[in-house]
Amino acid sequence: MKASFTNITETEFVVTGLIENQIYEFRVIAKNAAGVFSQPSDSTGAITAKDEVDPPKIDLEAKYSQAVVVNAGETFKLEAAVYGKPVPTIHWLKEGQEITEAARLELKNTDFTACLVVKEAIRVDGGQYILLVKNVGGEKSVNINVKVLDRPGAPEGPISIYGVTNEKCSISWKPPLQDGGSDVSHYIVERRETSRLVWTVVEPKVQTLNLKITKLLPGNEYIFRVIPDLVIEPAVRPKASSYSVQVGYDLKIDVPVAGHPKPIITWTKDGVALKQTTRVNVTDSAQTTTLTIKDATREDGGMYTISVSNDLGSKNATVEVITLDKPGPPTGPVKLEDISAESITLSWEPPTYTGGCPISNYVVEKRDTTTTNWSVVSATVARTTLKVSNLKTGTEYHTGSITAKDEVVPPKSETDPMYNQTIVINAGETFNLEASVEGKPIPTAQWFKGNLEVENSARVEIRNTDFKALLVVKDAIRVDGGQYTLVLTNVAGSKTIPFSVKVLDRPGPSEGPLTISNVTEEKCSLSWLPPRHDGGASISHYIIQKRETSRLAWTVVCSDCKATMFKVTKLLKGNEYIFRVMAVNKYGTGEPLESAPVIMRNPFVPPGAPQDLEITNITRDSMTVCWNRPETSGGSDIVGYIVEKRDRAGVRWTKCNKRRVTDLRFRVTGLTEDHEYEFRISAENAAGVGQPSPSTPYLKACDPTFEPGCPTNVHVVDTTRDSISLACAGTK
């Protein structure tokens, strides 16, 4: 049966309209321009019409056979090649749940590659990831373990307090659910009095889950807290195995390190401790050790070893520094062989120091002993031997110098004029950065974005050749915008070509953390930083939302905030809230930046009770109350006092002052004569009114009375039969 009804000029044809599972065989007949047909080809044999099915396969790099270890805050990528017919579907799972894209999670799967990117890793990103691929032929899965090194979580509560006496107690707790990727080495126990805000370390290194605390003050109220600490094995991970520097130029090598406690870092060069000078020095930070070499010399080349060690052990890594310079002299002596009247064969050994790259050629010179001038025999000798011909018979020659020579041309590059301006594209589009490459020896080409070298990935392809540098970025996203740099390097120098790219998209998340300050029981202040990526357009405003931790719904606090700070009011006392902020540009609303939970309560407590009450100046309708300040202010300045009185005949306390009293005395008026009164004082700060003082004894409201004194200088003035007259000077 004829399968084609048109002239076929290609050597391939798709036969359609077949019936599934039906058996067919095929043959082909050729026809020329004259319309003559050839003999049929041999039959293909019996073929069953059915879909070609290959079960899914996963090709995983060997590095994933061990756990992928990253520090908190770093970005990690899980990637594997995927095969199968039909093309398998790709699923990433963690803890039994399929992973979907989020602000920090990106799925960059293609038909032949499975790729998961996790940005700014946090503790919960550690664990086992499952890559599952499926098609009609079956399914295949592999496990990848990830360990995120971070601070451990809080110990499991509550803290149990027992064995309490007036000066000691015991506490116990449970280990944290999240250990930060490493065993908890010990716990730090702290305490504070409820009337103070400062925490004091009770014990800095507790290796059990309980502690007996002594030397407490009788009657004081305490709060205790437990902070886990951990030990992380040291690690050192150089970004490259070798670095090149031209003599006279500077070199800086940053090597990431990890470990807790902070590891001890040492550098050696060729097996000897590195001697630091003003030109060669090492600086260490929390996560990096940096070697800096200024004005590099030939002697700076060699093998450098970085050793890091802490309580859990030590790790080493080695990098090679190659110094690029003109080569040293060939190794002598020059050997003379096959000497004849007109020719001689010379041979020598390559130079000990090649200048950091292969020798391209040698220059051979000669002179006869009657002159002092050297002449070039050959400037393009590629080997370490040369037959010199056309010599004069009987003339004595000096073997002269043989110079190793590299033919060098500094790197050069040309770009399309379009790259002189910023390349502007929309999110989701593909863009190329391209430049020509020239130089001898052929320069190495490296692409950088900011200070980081660009690497091949599912969306980014580096297609450099000897004469062209090409960077292709597919499905552009916001973070692909920025400054790119092409660096061309050879022994003659380097050339830098800048490129600027702007990706138009929604803005990224605001820079964290979202800081919460000035917290009281009904308001707080928020502050944040603008997004690192503005999406190619200026940020017009921010949207601020809140939600109570007991609810899932978000409520808009402000939909048009122009600044990077905001004061939130009308919050509910004692409720726990989470806030989030989203930047807005003309292309849309960016991802949210969330805060940590915060409970609405004052950061201070009411003050203590005033002390040493005293009543003076008592009259029939008034008394003056005096007192001293409380021992504790509650962490906030005392703004005033409340004076109260109670009549012995009554049961209720009555406030005496209508306005806030700021002095340490107050005259109470309007008392009823001959009634007895007691008084008490309460202090007030921003947290409220504190406990009242102990009341005074009852005192009667009455005017003071005065009794006469004794007469003085009493003497007899006159006497009669029945009377005596007396006189005195008056009373005392």
pLDDT tens string 283-320? 998 788 999 999 888 889 899 999 999 877 888 999 99
With a cut of 70, say whether residue 401 has pLDDT above it.
no
- Among candidate residues 520, 688, 679, the one with its CA nearest the CA of residue 606: 688
Give me the count of residues in the chain. 732
Residue 354 has pLDDT above 90, yes or no: no
- How distant, in Å, are the alpha carbons of 262, 413, 577, 643, 689 from that of 686? 43, 69, 22, 18, 8
DSSP calls for 578-643: EEEEEEEETTEE---EEPPPEE---SS------EEEEEES--SSEEEEEEE--S--TTS---EEEE
Cα dihedral 374, 375, 378, 379 sign: positive
Is the torsion defined by CA of 328, 334, 338, 343 positive or negative? positive
pLDDT in tens, 518-536: 888 889 999 999 998 888 8
**Does residue 395 carry a pLDDT above 70?**
no
Q: Is the pLDDT of residue 51 over 80?
A: no
Sheet containing 330-337: which strands, arranged edge to edge? 330-337, 344-351, 385-388
3-class SS at 703? coil
Task: Give CA–CA dist 567/578, Å, rounded.
Answer: 14
Q: Which residues contact 656 (CB under 8 A, 6 or more apart)?
A: 643, 644, 645, 666, 668, 679
The answer, yes or no, to whether residue 405 has pLDDT greater than 60, is no
Eight-class DSSP state of 37: B
Please give the residue that has the higher pLDDT: either 708 or 183: 183
In the numeric block, the tokens 């300040």 are attached to: 629
Q: Tell me what the pLDDT averaged over the chain comes to.
A: 86
Given a contact cutoff of 8 angstroms between Cβ atoms, the answer to whether 627 and 709 are in contact is no
User: What per-residue confidence (pLDDT) applies to 729?
Assistant: 65
Helix (H) or strand (E) holding 54: strand 54-59
Contact 500, 425 (CB under 8 A): no
- The strand pair at 330-337 and 344-351 is best described as antiparallel
Structure-token pair, residue 192: 């504070």
**pLDDT one-digit tens code per residue, 626-635:** 999 999 988 8
Residue 529's nearest CA partner among 593, 578, 479 is 593
The β-bridge relationship of strands 113-118 and 431-436 is unpaired
Confidence of residue 397 (pLDDT cuts 50, 70, 90): low
120: nearest Cα among 136, 104, 109, 134 = 104
CA dihedral in degrees (580, 585, 589, 591; nearest 10)?
-60
pLDDT category, 653, cuts 50, 70, 90?
very high
Cβ contacts of 503 within 8 Å, gap of 6 or more: 425, 426, 427, 476, 477, 478, 480, 481, 535, 536
What SS3 state is found at 62? helix
Cα-Cα-Cα-Cα torsion 552, 557, 563, 569, nearest 10 degrees, comes to -120
Q: In terms of DSSP bridges, do strands 155-162 and 169-176 run parallel, antiparallel, or are they unpaired?
A: antiparallel
Does position 144 have pLDDT exceeding 70, yes or no?
A: yes
pLDDT above 90 covers a percentage of the chain that reads: 38
Contact predicate 725/718, CB 8 Å: yes
What per-residue confidence (pLDDT) applies to 265?
Answer: 92
603's tokens:
């950061």
- Nearest one of 107, 105, 131 to 120, comparing CA atoms: 105
Answer with the residue of higher pLDDT: 385 or 233: 385
pLDDT, position 404: 46
* Alpha-carbon gap, residue 629 to 518, rounded angstroms: 26
| C-beta of residue 104 within 8 angstroms of C-beta of residue 155 | no
Beta bridge partners of 346: 336, 386
Cα angle 588, 110, 431 (rounded to 5 degrees) comes to: 55
- Segment 627-633 long-range contacts (CB within 8 Å, at least 24 positions apart): 627/664, 627/665, 627/681, 627/693, 628/664, 629/664, 629/683, 630/683, 630/690, 632/195, 632/607, 632/608, 633/607, 633/608, 633/683, 633/685
| pLDDT confidence tier of residue 466, bands split at 50, 70 and 90 | confident
The angle at the Cα of 603, spanning 592 to 204, to the nearest 5 degrees, equals: 90
In contact, 170 and 224? CB cutoff 8 Å: no
Judge whether residue 45 has pLDDT over 50. Answer: yes
Looking at the DSSP assignment, which residues form a beta bridge with residue 445? 488
290: which residues sit within 8 A by CB, 6+ positions away?
A: 252, 253, 254, 255, 282, 283, 284
* pLDDT above 70 (res 707): no
Question: Which pLDDT score is estimated for 19?
Answer: 82
Q: What is the pLDDT of residue 367?
A: 80
- The backbone torsions φ and ψ at residue 106, rounded to the nearest 5 degrees and listed phi first, read -125, 130
Contact residues for 314 (Cβ-Cβ < 8 A; gap 6+): 234, 263, 307, 308
pLDDT digits (tens, 9 = 90+) for 109-142: 988 899 999 988 887 888 899 999 999 889 999 9
Q: What is the pLDDT of residues 84-103, one digit of tens each?
A: 888 899 999 998 899 998 87
pLDDT band at 651 (very low <50, low <70, confident <90, very high): confident
Peptide bond preceding 630 in cis form (omega within 30 of 0): no
Neighbours of 90 (CB within 10 A): 21
Angle (nearest 5°) at CA 348 between 345 and 351: 155
Cα-only R_g, the chain: 45
Name the 3-class secondary structure at 223.
strand
Distance CA 321, CA 245 (A): 8
Cα–Cα distance, 38 to 27 (Å, whole number): 12
Tell me the sheet residues that pair with 34: none
Q: What is the pLDDT of residues 162-208, one digit of tens each?
A: 999 988 999 999 988 877 667 787 888 999 888 887 888 889 888 89
Angstrom distances, CA of residue 395 to CA of 255, 270, 367, 566: 61, 49, 10, 96
Instruction: Quote the CA–CA distance of 78 and 68 in Å, as a whole number.
Output: 9
| 134 token code pair | 């499926």
pLDDT confidence tier of residue 147, bands split at 50, 70 and 90: confident
| φ and ψ of 179, to 5 deg | -95, 5
- Supply the pLDDT for residue 473: 92
If DSSP codes are grouped into helix, strand and coil, which group holds residue 669? strand
pLDDT value for 706? 61
Q: Global pTM?
A: 0.37
Residue 307 tokens, joined: 């050793």
Question: Of 71, 278, 316, 332, nearest to 180 (Cα)?
Answer: 71
What CA–CA distances, in Å, run from 6 to 248, 564, 596? 73, 71, 71
Tell me which of 229-238, 254-263, 455-464, 475-484 is least confident.
229-238
Share above pLDDT 70 across residues of the chain, in percent, rounded to a whole number: 96
Residue 582 — pLDDT band, cuts 50, 70, 90?
very high
Task: Select from 532, 523, 520 the least CA-distant residue to 481.
Answer: 532
Nearest-angstrom CA–CA distance, 327 and 301: 13
pLDDT at 41 over 50: yes
**Mean pLDDT throughout 673-696?**
92
77 pLDDT above the threshold of 60: yes
pLDDT value of residue 445: 92
325 band by pLDDT with thresholds 50, 70 and 90? confident
